[in-house]
Amino acid sequence: MLRIRPFRRLWLVLGAASFGDWLGLLATSIFAATQVSGDTAKGLAFGGVIAVRLLPALLLGPVAGVLADRFDRRLTMVVCDLLRFVLFASIPLAALLNIGGGLVVGWAAVATFLIEAITLIWIPAKEAAVPNLIPRTRLEVANQLTLITTYGVTPVLAAISIAVLDRSVRAVSGGPPQGWNDPTQLALYFNSLSRLATALVVFFGIREISGRSLGREEGEEGERGERQSMLRQFVEGWRFIGKTPLIRGLVLGIFGAFAGGGVVIGTANFFTKSLSAGEAAFYLLFGSIFIGLSVGIGLGPMIVREMSRRRWFGMSIVLASASVLFLAGSIHLSMAILGAVLVGAGAGMAFLSGTTLLGGEVADEVRGRVFAVVQTGTRLVLILAISVSSLLVGVGGSRELRIADLGISVSSTRLLLLVAGIAGIFAGVNAFRQMDDKPGVPVLPDLWGSIRGRPLSPAEPFTSTGAFVVFEGGEGAGKSTQLAALAETLRQEGREVVVTREPGATDVGVRIRSLVLESTTAGTAPLSPRAEALLYAADRAHHVATVVRPALARGAVVISDRYVDSSLAYQGAGRTLPVDEVSWLSAWATGGLKPDLVVLLDVDPRAGLLRVTSRGAGKDRLEAESLDFHDRVRDAFLDLAAADPKRYLVLDGSGPVDQIAAAIAARVGGMLGEPDAVVHPGPAKPIDLSAEPKTTAGDDSGGLELERRS
């Protein structure tokens, strides 16, 4: 990632600037407190500076995004940083003027307000520029790097630096620091210089940030007379957010997550009391949330791997909110610490996936405005959630609930956490629904598959008016015989029937069939199991795309001699390749197309193979496999049928041909209805890898249907 020159430079300056900003935040607050005397005044000065930092979001937030989308982002960043350079330096310089503590604190507050207002413009410009510097596929890693640098490494470094600076100054001067050598003042000078450095590097070293965007080109045209008004740009930004389900889901999800986080922060102090834990527990819980955040941001993508980022976002919010519920029910500090780590992990993953989605899926011309809304909204939601929840926790008191020997304190704090958790879960589910890019794909199997690098694919959109019947079974089970009989019956009823098979129903398939079934010539290496699986999958992909789907779309009844189950049984159980991998491969090859009915003809492999050899044509490569191999194949077929009994008709293939044919015709006839009213049982669904075997349902099989083998 850091090999990309403009990104490397931006990351370095952002790291330095973020370090400076954290130093600045700590220093301004401490600095203001040291300018006045008395506990109350110190507390007011400290809190006042923090409050003033949050205030501009209320006033300027919405406009900031318009500026980021309207003007050259590089110049916007440079001008903002030069102004911040001057303002940061002005705070300690004011103290040197001997104008009195009150005025110095007043100026610190004004300068902080202005700095924060400028930051509101700088952040959307920077956030909107980053996606233009790197390929989309690397955006997540870039976000990981910047988030960990900004919220993980630099705040810790800043706190350590201030402490070390303070100690060093005291050691050198032999007393408390005075005037310019005060570490808080030095930190502010450093903050100021870091902003100057950022401005210079962005101006001279990262010209790419100026890249053209439609909106800004429009802006330039506007200078020739057609320029959109700022008000219109502002309104359009909001309209875009309101009308685009992905963005709406993202924004609401992020707000929900921040509201939950705010409630956790607002109630944290009372919560630790309700655990009867000491003051240190408060800091322990905070530390745990931060550890969780780092885990979520740093390890999240490695854990979920191929998971759809849109799904991951909603799921992360649900994880964080469910963990808030867990926190609400914690009766011991160890439980609360686990809950706090999980809250942090969920929030970190939501933060990372949300930022990446915003960067990757929002068009450049509105990106600044969307980032500005998120930035402003999150601050407001956070302040509201913290203040309202810290007010409410005081109300209501607490009751002691005795369950067995445990005394659980049921306080308004826990109730608030409960409400926040439930509301967060709703926000997460709502975000998931609005943004889902795999509708119909079951969530947990998809998550499990993704963790193992094989996410489920959504079924290809496809309207079928026909029906898809597949014959499966071991060698010589009687598939071709029964398939021909069924086709004849259906044709006599006046239906369009397409008889096909795997492998070998297409020109490509014929060539694949000879590759997989012809015995290897002496001296050449035998076909490897994986290559064999891929060849069957390739045949299937082409077969489904060129024969099966078009026929189903026409309304025909498609009857295929073998399909996906043959791969699961032969390559999975027979060749002992991981069945879920073979299943995933077939699901991908077929776009998730499942048959409406699978007729499984079960015969003992010994009998089946005898039938095959009695045809006198010799054995192909698979027929020549060992009896053990064929036994495994048979068992696998029966297990698959048992796992999805409604979709299978399992018949004893050693019975009389006519009886088997009658049983099949009855089942298929019942499924299809009257010839001119073909009912398709349901749309194609993705293959669910998590299905556990279930018992076989009874059916109209004329007494031939097999019991499930244990």
Among 622, 643, 662, 671, binds ligand LXEULUCI (CB under 6 A): 622
Going by C-alpha positions, the residue among 158, 173, 194 that lies closest to residue 27 is 158
- CB nearer ligand ATP, residue 63 or residue 477: 477
Stretch that binds ligand ATP, among 50-58, 218-226, 244-252, 651-659 (CB under 6 A): 651-659
Contact of 240 with 372, CB cutoff 8 Å? no
Shortest Cβ 487–ligand ATP spacing (Å): 13
Among 428, 466, 503, 591, binds ligand LXEULUCI (CB under 6 A): 503
- CB nearer ligand LXEULUCI, residue 4 or residue 517: 517
CA distance 340 to 323: 7
Cα torsion angle, 282, 283, 288, 290, sign? positive
CA distances for 180 relative to 83, 89, 91, 168, 526, angstroms: 22, 12, 11, 14, 80
Among 81, 364, 502, 596, binds ligand LXEULUCI (CB under 6 A): 502
Stretch that binds ligand ATP, among 201-209, 429-437, 653-661, 681-689 (CB under 6 A): 653-661
* Residue 536 interacting entry, from ligand ATP, ligand LXEULUCI, none, C-beta within 5 to 8 Å by type: ligand LXEULUCI
Going by their DSSP bridges, the two strands 648-652 and 597-602 should be labelled as parallel
- CB nearer ligand ATP, residue 269 or residue 659: 659
Contact of 206 with 8, CB cutoff 8 Å? no
CA distance 98 to 93: 10
CA distance 182 to 96: 11
* Residue 499 interacting entry, from ligand LXEULUCI, ligand ATP, none, C-beta within 5 to 8 Å by type: none
- Name the closest residue to ligand LXEULUCI (Cβ): 570
Going by C-alpha positions, the residue among 635, 626, 622 that lies closest to residue 473 is 635
- CB nearer ligand ATP, residue 428 or residue 653: 653
* Residue 667 interacting entry, from ligand ATP, ligand LXEULUCI, none, C-beta within 5 to 8 Å by type: none
Q: H/E element holding 601?
A: strand 597-602
| 287 carries a ligand binding annotation | no
CA distance 254 to 375: 10
- Asked if 567 touches ligand LXEULUCI (CB under 6 A), the answer is yes
For the chain, the residue count is: 710
Shortest Cβ 542–ligand LXEULUCI spacing (Å): 13
CA distance 524 to 252: 61
| 669 carries a ligand binding annotation | no
Stretch that binds ligand LXEULUCI, among 6-14, 435-443, 497-505, 650-658 (CB under 6 A): 497-505
- CB nearer ligand ATP, residue 424 or residue 473: 473
Contact of 70 with 230, CB cutoff 8 Å? yes
Contact of 623 with 671, CB cutoff 8 Å? no
How many CA atoms are closer than 13 Å to the CA of 90, on its beta-carbon side? 17
Dihedrals phi, psi of 651, to nearest 5 degrees: -125, 150
Count CB neighbours of 113 within 10 A.
Answer: 19
Burial readout 195-224 (b: 16 or more C-beta within 10 A, e: otherwise):
bbbbbebbbebbebbbeebebbebbeeeee
Shortest Cβ 318–ligand ATP spacing (Å): 48
Going by C-alpha positions, the residue among 519, 536, 479 that lies closest to residue 624 is 519
- Asked if 566 touches ligand LXEULUCI (CB under 6 A), the answer is yes
- CB nearer ligand LXEULUCI, residue 387 or residue 528: 528
Query: Binding to ligand ATP (CB under 6 A): which residues in 587-646?
Result: 611-612, 615
- Asked if 468 touches ligand LXEULUCI (CB under 6 A), the answer is no
Stretch that binds ligand LXEULUCI, among 67-75, 382-390, 499-507, 688-696 (CB under 6 A): 499-507
| 345 carries a ligand binding annotation | no
Q: H/E element holding 472?
A: strand 467-473
* Residue 615 interacting entry, from ligand ATP, ligand LXEULUCI, none, C-beta within 5 to 8 Å by type: ligand ATP
- CB nearer ligand ATP, residue 224 or residue 615: 615
- CB nearer ligand LXEULUCI, residue 532 or residue 652: 532
Shortest Cβ 302–ligand ATP spacing (Å): 45
CA distances for 175 relative to 80, 450, 625, angstroms: 38, 59, 88
Binding string, 518-557, against ligand LXEULUCI, x = CB under 6 A?
------------------x---------------------
| 48 carries a ligand binding annotation | no
| 328 carries a ligand binding annotation | no
Type of residue at 93 = L
| 480 carries a ligand binding annotation | yes
| 397 carries a ligand binding annotation | no
Residue 693 in tokens: 């075997």
* Residue 502 interacting entry, from ligand LXEULUCI, ligand ATP, none, C-beta within 5 to 8 Å by type: ligand LXEULUCI
Binding string, 462-501, against ligand ATP, x = CB under 6 A?
-----------x-xxxxxxx--------------------
Query: Binding to ligand ATP (CB under 6 A): which residues in 177-196?
Result: none
CA distance 409 to 146: 41
- CB nearer ligand ATP, residue 315 or residue 651: 651
Size of the site for ligand LXEULUCI (CB under 6 A): 12
- Asked if 562 touches ligand LXEULUCI (CB under 6 A), the answer is yes
Cα torsion angle, 338, 344, 348, 349, sign? positive
Alpha helices in 604-656 (DSSP H): 605-614, 627-643
Percent of the chain as helix, strand, coil, to the nearest 5: 70, 5, 25
Shortest Cβ 475–ligand ATP spacing (Å): 4
- Asked if 446 touches ligand LXEULUCI (CB under 6 A), the answer is no
Contact of 292 with 344, CB cutoff 8 Å? yes
| 473 carries a ligand binding annotation | yes
CA dihedral 138, 143, 146, 149 (to 10 degrees): -110
- CB nearer ligand ATP, residue 454 or residue 479: 479
* Residue 156 interacting entry, from ligand ATP, ligand LXEULUCI, none, C-beta within 5 to 8 Å by type: none
Strand order in the sheet with 497-501: 497-501, 557-561, 467-473, 597-602, 648-652
Contact of 86 with 65, CB cutoff 8 Å? no
Residues 6+ apart with CB under 8 A from 172: none
Q: Which residues bind ligand LXEULUCI (CB under 6 A)?
A: 501-503, 517, 536, 562, 566-567, 570-571, 622-623
Q: Which residues bind ligand ATP (CB under 6 A)?
A: 473, 475-481, 611-612, 615, 653, 655, 657, 660
Report the binding-site residues for ATP. 473-480
Report the binding-site residues. 473-480
